[in-house]
């Protein structure tokens, strides 16, 4: 039976800017993406994505003929939920209140009609599910998902040894090391949560690593870094400085000193040396952040919330991000002072003002950056970026013809 993960139309817009460039199920929370979690639980080598048309070149649905399990891409699996999903009979759907969690279809080609028109036979989940419905849910639930993924990936397996006499280890039973890992004179403290070191990753000299921590394949924790827990890095990313309760998606770098807290950084991002993010307001009030879905700032209800940065965005040295800043896709930020709390996709500038970072220039940078990892900025990537550029024109207020256009992007 095939497995198809669909973008819930009520959830996907609330997960922008990250879902500008990927389906909801391709978001990483814990060690694995949501799609990878379902692959492991269902023992399915491949899953398909039911997502926006412009994303399908990179994230195809695959085979949509025959019986299928159709699963909400925002929902993270656990043992009880997987059991309920597998027990669904053809034509049955599983709901958590009003949210469709999963359905068993006799014919996957009918999925669009059934999701729109409803199911004749439904069941309710045995307990509320874990669903990523807002961007801040990614870091809020990261620690719990690291623990869950750690158990899933390491059950019945033997960890590689630390292999370094100068590394200090606390609670070694909560540390799992894959093949090819290199550790030198570090401190690994897994007393409060597991530490997972992915294949060919490296922990450099003097790094302090506190669990829960997921260092994904090919990633590096640089010398002297302070990883304060509930962090995910990679795959193929580098991190340094002080980091707490944050996620760096693949191929992104925060290689130098500076603080990153309660934040999510997309793919192919780079934070310049001594970049700092505020994650707590001076008055300790709940943080508001820009919502692409609502077109305004919304209250997260969280006292701690840092930076949300979309794919292919970068910032220069000494950049300062205020509490709850949202940066779109393909932005380049530099200069002194705090830039606005909402920086639209394809922005070029900083606190002194912005202009549009045009697609040909964005492509030049992307080609250079991806070539360093021996990857191509191919037609699928270009098509996605082109679509996002057009879809976000309305956010770049400086490009509007009307001189009196309101200046979005500053949360008061």
User: What stretches of 14-62 show up as alpha helix (H) in DSSP?
Assistant: 34-42
Q: Extract the tokens encoding 313.
A: 């965005």
Task: Return the half-sphere exposure (C-beta side, CA atoms, 13 A cut-off) of residue 330.
Answer: 30
User: What stretches of 43-132 show up as alpha helix (H) in DSSP?
Assistant: 79-86, 111-117
Q: For the chain, which domains are there?
A: 2-124 (3.90.550), 134-267 (2.160.10.10), 269-400 (no CATH)
pLDDT at 112: 66
pLDDT at 115: 63
Q: Which helix (H) or strand (E) holds 148?
A: helix 142-154
Tens-digit pLDDT profile for residues 8-51: 999 999 999 999 999 999 999 999 999 999 999 999 878 999 99
pLDDT at 1: 85
The DSSP 8-state label assigned to residue 36 in this structure reads H
How many residues make up the chain in this entry? 412
Distances (CA, A) of 168 to 107, 162, 188, 208, 405: 55, 9, 6, 10, 58
For residues 21 and 39, give the distance between their C-alpha atoms in angstroms, rounded to a whole number.
21
pLDDT at 403: 44
| Cross-strand pairs, 254 | 239
pLDDT at 286: 98
Tens-digit pLDDT profile for residues 186-210: 999 999 999 999 999 999 999 999 9
pLDDT at 408: 46
The ranges of the chain with pLDDT < 70 are 112-118, 401-412
Average pLDDT, the chain: 94
For residues 20 and 53, give the distance between their C-alpha atoms in angstroms, rounded to a whole number.
12
pLDDT at 410: 44
Identify which of 178, 231, 192, 187 has the alpha carbon closest to the alpha carbon of residue 209: 187
| Radius of gyration over every alpha carbon of the chain, rounded to an integer in angstroms | 21
pLDDT at 66: 85
Respond yes or no on whether the N-terminal peptide bond of residue 354 is cis (omega within 30° of 0): no
pLDDT at 107: 81
The per-residue DSSP string of 57-100 comes to: TTS-----SS-EEEEETTEEP-HHHHHHHHTPPTTEEEEETTEE
Identify which of 99, 103, 105 has the alpha carbon closest to the alpha carbon of residue 131: 99
Is the pTM value of this prediction over 0.75?
yes
Tens-digit pLDDT profile for residues 129-146: 999 999 999 999 999 999
Query: Residue holding tokens 């200046």?
Result: 407
pLDDT at 407: 40
For residues 238 and 270, give the distance between their C-alpha atoms in angstroms, rounded to a whole number.
10
For residues 115 and 100, give the distance between their C-alpha atoms in angstroms, rounded to a whole number.
8
pLDDT at 116: 61
Biggest CA pair distance of the chain: 66
Q: Extract the tokens encoding 310.
A: 């979309």
């Amino acid at each position: 039976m095939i497995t198809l993960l669909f973008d819930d139309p009520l959830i996907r817009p609330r997960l922008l800017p990250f879902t500008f460039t990927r389906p909801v199920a391709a978001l990483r929370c814990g060690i694995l993406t949501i799609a990878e979690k379902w692959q492991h639980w269902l023992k399915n080598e491949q899953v398909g994505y039911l997502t926006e048309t412009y994303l399908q070149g990179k994230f195809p649905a695959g085979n949509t003929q025959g019986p299928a399990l159709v699963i909400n891409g925002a929902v993270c699996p656990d043992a009880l939920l997987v059991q309920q999903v597998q027990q669904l009979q053809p034509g049955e759907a599983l709901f958590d209140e009003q949210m469709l969690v999963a359905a068993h279809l006799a014919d996957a080609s009918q999925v669009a009609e059934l999701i729109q028109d409803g199911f004749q036979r439904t069941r309710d989940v045995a307990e509320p599910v874990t669903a990523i419905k807002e961007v801040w849910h990614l870091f809020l639930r990261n620690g719990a998902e690291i623990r869950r993924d750690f158990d899933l990936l390491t059950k019945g397996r033997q960890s590689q040894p630390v292999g370094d006499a100068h590394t200090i280890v606390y609670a070694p039973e909560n540390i799992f090391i894959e093949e090819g890992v290199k550790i030198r004179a570090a401190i690994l403290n897994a007393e409060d949560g597991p530490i997972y070191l992915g294949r060919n990753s490296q922990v450099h000299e003097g790094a302090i690593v506190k669990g829960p921590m997921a260092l994904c394949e090919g990633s590096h924790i640089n010398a002297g870094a302070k990883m304060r827990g509930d962090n995910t890095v990679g795959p193929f990313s580098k991190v340094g400085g002080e980091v707490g309760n944050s996620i760096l998606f693949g191929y992104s770098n925060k290689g130098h000193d500076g603080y990153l807290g309660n934040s999510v950084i997309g793919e192919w991002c780079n934070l310049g040396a001594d970049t700092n993010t505020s994650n707590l307001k001076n008055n300790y009030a709940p943080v508001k952040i820009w919502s692409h879905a609502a077109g305004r700032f919304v209250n997260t209800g969280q006292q701690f919330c840092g930076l949300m940065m979309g794919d292919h965005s970068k910032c220069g040295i000494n950049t300062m991000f205020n509490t709850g800043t949202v940066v779109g896709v393909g932005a380049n930020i530099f200069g002194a002072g705090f830039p606005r709390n909402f920086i639209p996709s394809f922005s070029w500038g900083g606190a002194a003002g912005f202009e549009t970072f045009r697609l040909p220039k964005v492509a030049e940078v992307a080609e250079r950056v991806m070539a360093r990892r021996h990857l191509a900025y191919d037609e699928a990537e270009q098509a996605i970026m082109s679509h996002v550029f057009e879809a976000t024109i309305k956010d770049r207020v400086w490009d509007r013809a009307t001189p009196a256009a309101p200046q979005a992007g500053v949360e008061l």
